[in-house]
Amino acid sequence: MLSLITGNWWAPVASGVLAIVIGLAAFAWPVRTFEALVLLFGVYVFVRGSIWLAFGLLAAGARERWWPFVVNGIVGLSLGVLTFAETQAMAVALVSLAGAWAILTGVLEVVGAVRFRQFIENEWLLGSGGVVSIVFGIAVLAQPTIGIVTFALVFGAYAVLVGIAQVWLGLRLRSLGESMRAAAATVEGARP
């Protein structure tokens, strides 16, 4: 399974870059309409959910633990579709949903970091992205009436920090995949 995940290293990098772009956009235009932020959130959770679902399907195909990836993916995809279908209703519920989703994602990322620690170095960055998600979720749920501008800025900071952690994870997976291929080539070359 690890070779399947390392072969798709670009997925967390793409998700991370998207998160950074969305985070920077939230900083640049915090006063823009809340509906735009809702749609940005919808795009972000849909893309991220697609990536986590793909990892879950890869894990299931390799007969590895797949359900955390699939659950995370289904939640993200569902929130993304709901955001586009019911934008006005989602605007009202966004703060609470964003907080709950961030906590769920954070917990799963911390679990993933613990699981990956035997394969990659500096797994703490993935775990720290999960902790940032959990802290963001708790802060948002504790103060759901923080206001549109404050929410946009907090969400922007969260998206940038998590995006950096995701880009790092993707690059580490790429490096790990290259190391695994080099080791396999060395073993193949040593055979008579």
What does the pLDDT look like over 9-41, one tens digit per residue? 888 899 899 989 988 988 888 766 566 777 878
What does the pLDDT look like over 46-66, one tens digit per residue? 988 898 898 888 888 888 888
Distance CA 1, CA 170 (A): 15
What does the pLDDT look like over 112-132, one tens digit per residue? 778 777 776 666 776 887 888
Domain range list for the chain: 2-178
Give yes or no for a contact between 129 and 166, defined as CB atoms under 8 angstroms apart. yes
Query: In the structure encoding, which two tokens stand for residue 125, read together?
Result: 């960055």
Distance CA 41, CA 83 (A): 8
Predicted confidence at residue 60, as pLDDT, reads 84
Q: Whole-number mean pLDDT of the chain?
A: 82
Most confident of 31-45, 85-99, 168-182: 168-182
Average pLDDT over residues 90-96: 73
Predicted confidence at residue 33, as pLDDT, reads 54
Distance CA 190, CA 192 (A): 6
DSSP type of residue 102: H
182 pLDDT exceeds 80? yes
% of the chain surpassing 90 pLDDT? 7
Distance CA 168, CA 156 (A): 18
